[in-house]
Structure 1
Amino acid sequence: MNLQMKWTAACVGLLLALPAAAEVVRKDFSVRSEDGLSIFVRELRDTAAPADRGPMLMVHGGRSGVLASWDVDAPGSSAAEEIAKAGHRVYLMDVRGFGRSAFPREMRDAPEALAGPVAVRSNEAVRDIAAVVDEIRRRHPGEARLAAIGWATGSQWLGHYASLHPEKLSHLVYYNAAYGGPAGGWALQAEFGDPQRPAELDRARHGAYRLATADNLVGRWRSEGVDAAFLARYVQLSMEGDASAGARQPPSFRFPSGPTADTLKLVNGRQLFDASFIRAHVLILRSERDFWSRPVDVATLREHLTSAASVTAVELRGASHYAHLQPGAERARFLAAVLAFTAPRRPSSGAP
């Protein structure tokens, strides 16, 4: 074998010895909810993740769907991608009426039709979550772990689900979400609440669903110098689930009013669920500058979690409601808190 052939063989051998490059694989599928609606799910996995942290379900908030909420892949990586790289098999889902999931009947009428019911209340979201959790568990037979995180109302839905199905989740991250406690102190009360009945949505101004334009989504961020590629991708992912978005001028997408109607109850002395039924490990994660949740929501939830396997409360100092969205210092602290919480737990020294 001549020198050139020896050199070539050595290089090939070295390449074969190197670990495979990490690749985040995305696969989309759908499941059927109990009442027949098609629910969109995206799976993310890293083919070279350094650990196996088990599956994690991620749910959006009350306006944009799950891809805009957790998987904005420009610039750089998304929060969901970083969690997959850490070793979770990530499942992203759209509740009915959001993103790529089917729209319920209440969202097919004109938005100003006020007589009908508000679209997508918490009990309906729980129905969709139940269908997705059952599918995740089917795909991971024998796996005891299943973590879940929602953004704002997404966590409210997951908390409601966990109170009804306490055996299904091992870890719950309750992120920037309302829960209950003394009435008042909600920054959005005047915008959404009925002046005569504070715990009710003002139906004179808000229909079964609402519309959001690009300016509604990112107008403020443009003036703050947020990366233009991120803004464009965020708007695109928010709009794409609504086939009628381009038919309106300016383009806008539909999203249900139910999450806001439910939150008005939570911040005005009414509860949707009792957290004492939850048995998972719970991380209550709140941004210091959040406008959706209140400090009293954290205190009340922590007090009510009497059956939880463990309860941890973390405040992201100086962070906003959007801490997880873009790469940077706020998201780094968000990811550190979540991944520390879902890391494999060592048995206590007193364990047999």
Structure 2
Amino acid sequence: MMRDSGDSCASGGWRKKMLASLLLTAAPLASAGETEQKQASRADDETEITLVRKDRYLPLQAGISLFIREVRPASLPADGASPVLLLHGARVPGVASFDLPVAGGSLAGDLAAAGYRVYIMDLRGYGFSSRPAAMSRPPELSAPLMRTADAVDDIGAAIGAVMQWSQSDKVSILGWATGGHWAGAYAAQYPQHVDRLVLYNTLYGGSRHHDTLGLGSPLDTPDKPGTFHASRFGGYRVNSRASLFPAWDNSIPSEDKTRWRDERVAQAYADAALASDDTAYQRDPPGFRAPSGAMADSFELAIGKKQWQAARLTMPVLAIRSERDFWSRAQDADALAREAPDAQALTIPSATHFVHLDRNEAGRSEFLSAVIQFLARRDDGA
């Protein structure tokens, strides 16, 4: 059985109290250099928690940098809390995915309030990180950008920086959807740097059939089945506000979507996604860019082609799947749990692909509790 283990800076009891917090987070920042903000929040027991947010740009090479946001409790020393890296998925970048400025919209804030140093990164081509030059040209002029190998390189750079900033020799990673695929690929290649791994609604190649991403889908080339339709997607895609909601809406088992999802969270999600691209409002309708490499990789996974082996994940692994997820399949979570040496699978009943952004009673509380307990688990599994 899992339980809170605590650490030198935050007791297990404090983590349990913070689990119930609804956090108001700082607005996304896009300025250069380092920017730090503090934001006070209150838990249900009236304990005041101050969270600190610091935005950094990590240089990779001339003119190229990665955006990384740190979210941590101000009451802990700078090197006191266990580091956790959050990885976004195929379309919406890091801050929009994990740190919205509304109650119930910040997984990063909730984990920080539970005693963790949390880092959110944007891969190249996403959000506030540098974009390949090809993303300034029409998408049809380039092949799908940012494939798995590119993502692994960026994650490695971010992990190296996080270990230095936090004075830690390992980092836990939580990846959402394609972010989980990228996290798994990195962890399989560099297990010595990963403490815990959470794969959340992640494709793995557990089946050759997928209703929306596999053979016969828009990702498949009509005259060459089993091949990604690269000419349709090009180097990148442009995503409108309206495009963010159909799959989410269709997976909510209620005609009244607001019963399942706070409208303030939904609107903040779309606002932050558009704000992540400084060219978004140059389009009509406004739209933000996202590299297409994630879709090419996801197509391969959807038709059963694994890009890494879970057997190489020597760290503890938690594979979380929402029952109503449209992206991952039950076979993916089952295969991960079966193949990884120290893995467990959790299915959240009736939950959607976006459970960490849904209401607490729609699975968010169960998701958050499972993640915090897993991150706090001792090496003996208690």
TM more than 0.5: yes
The answer to whether residue 121 in structure 2 is matched with residue 93 in structure 1 is: yes
Distance 1:282 1:35, change over 3 A: farther
Indicate the larger mover: 148-157 or 67-76: 67-76
Flag the 1:45–1:61 CA change in 2: closer, same or farther, 3 A. same
State whether residues 172 and 283 of structure 1, in contact with CA within 8 Å, keep that contact through their aligned partners in structure 2. yes
Are the equivalent residues in 1 in contact too, given 2:213–2:298 (CA < 8 A)?
Answer: no
Change (3 A) 1:229 1:20: closer
What displacement does 1:122 show? Answer: 0.7
Asked whether the 8 Å contact 2:181–2:199 carries over to 1, the reply is yes
- Indicate conservation of the 8 Å contact 2:104/2:357, yes or no: no
Q: Residue 316 in 1 paired to residue 348 in 2? A: yes
Amino acid at match of 1:43: E
Q: TM-score, normalised by structure 1?
A: 0.85
Q: Give the structure 2 partner of residue 336 of structure 1.
A: 369
Whether 2:166 is the aligned partner of 1:140: answer yes
- For 2:357, the aligned partner's letter is L
Do the aligned partners of 2:170 and 2:192 also contact (CA within 8 Å) in 1? no
What is the letter of the counterpart of residue 341 of structure 1?
A: F
1:78 and 1:348 map into 2 onto residues whose CA distance is: 27
Contact conserved, 2:50 with 2:75, CA < 8 A, in 1?
yes
Residue number in structure 2 paired with 1:178: 203
- The yes-or-no answer on 1:84 pairing with 2:84 is no
CA contact (8 A) 2:201 2:327 kept: yes
User: How many residues are treated as equivalent by the alignment?
Assistant: 324
Would you say the 8 A contact 1:160–1:272 is kept in 2?
A: yes
> For the residues of structure 1 that align with 2:179 and 2:244, how far apart are their CA atoms?
18
Q: 1:332 to 1:117 in 2, by over 3 A?
A: same
The one of 58, 62, 70 equivalent to 2:90 is 62
Query: Which stretch has the larger CA shift, 175-184 or 162-171?
Result: 175-184
Q: Deviations over 1:254-294 (max 9, x none)?
A: 11111110011112131211222221110011111111111
1:32, 1:131 within 8 Å by CA — same for their partners in 2? no
For residue 343 of structure 1, report the CA deviation from its aligned partner.
Answer: 1.1
Instruction: Please report how far the alpha carbon of residue 199 of structure 1 lies from its aligned counterpart in structure 2 after TM superposition.
Output: 3.8
Q: Name whichever of 243-252 and 337-346 sits farther off.
A: 337-346
How far apart are residue 184 of structure 1 and its match?
Answer: 1.2
Distance 1:303 1:202 in 2: 31
Going from structure 1 to structure 2, the CA distance change for 1:36 and 1:156 (only over 3 Å counts) comes to: farther
| Counterpart in the other structure of 1:10 | none
Residues 81, 116 of structure 2: 8 Å contact kept: yes
What is the aligned counterpart of 1:230 among 256, 265, 271?
265
Residue 24 of structure 1 deviates from its aligned partner by 1.1
Amino acid at match of 2:347: E
2:22 aligns with none
Q: Which residue of 2 aligns with 1:130?
A: 156
Structure 2 Cα separation of the partners of residues 264 and 299 of structure 1: 19
Question: Structure 2: how far apart are the matches of 1:144 and 1:266?
Answer: 31
What SS does the aligned partner of 1:68 have?
helix
> Given the superposition, is the C-alpha separation of residues 214 and 112 from structure 1 closer, same or farther in structure 2, using an over 3 Å criterion?
same
- State the 1:249 CA deviation: 0.4
Residue pair 1:186, 1:293 contacting (<8 A) in 2 also:
no
Alignment deviations for residues 25-74 of structure 1 (CA, whole Å, 9 cap, x no partner): 1110011236862100000011247xx65110001011011111111121
Contact 2:262 2:358 in 1 (8 A): no
- With over 3 angstroms needed to count, the CA separation of the structure-2 counterparts of 1:34 and 1:199, relative to structure 1, is farther
1:158 aligns with 2:183: yes
Which of residues 261, 265, 290 in structure 1 aligns to 2:296?
261
Preserved CA contact (<8 Å) 1:21 1:48: no
- Partner SS state of residue 49, structure 2: coil
Q: Which amino acid aligns with 2:356?
A: H
Q: Which residue of 223, 227, 233 maps to 1:200?
A: 227
Q: What is the match of residue 29 of structure 1?
A: 56
1:102 shift after superposition: 0.7
**Shift of residue 183, structure 1, vs aligned partner:** 1.0
- Contact 1:55/1:147 (CA < 8 Å) preserved in 2? yes
1:291-302 map, 5 Å: 291-302=326-337
Contact 2:105 2:265 survives alignment (8 Å): no
Structure 2 segments unaligned to the other structure (5+ residues)? 1-45, 250-254
What SS does structure 1 have at the residue aligned with 2:299? helix
Compared CA separation, residues 284 and 36, structure 1 to 2 (3 A): farther
Deviates more, 1:175-184 or 1:149-158: 175-184
Counterpart in the other structure of 1:215: 242
Give the AA of the match of 1:152: A
Contact 1:53 1:88 in 2 (8 A): yes
Distance in 1 separating the partners of 2:313 and 2:64 = 27
What's the secondary structure of 1:321's corresponding residue? coil
Match of 2:137 in 1: 109
SS of 1:112's equivalent in the other structure is: helix
Any idea what the Cα deviations from partners look like across 1:135-157, whole Å, max 9, x if unmatched? 0111222x345211011000100
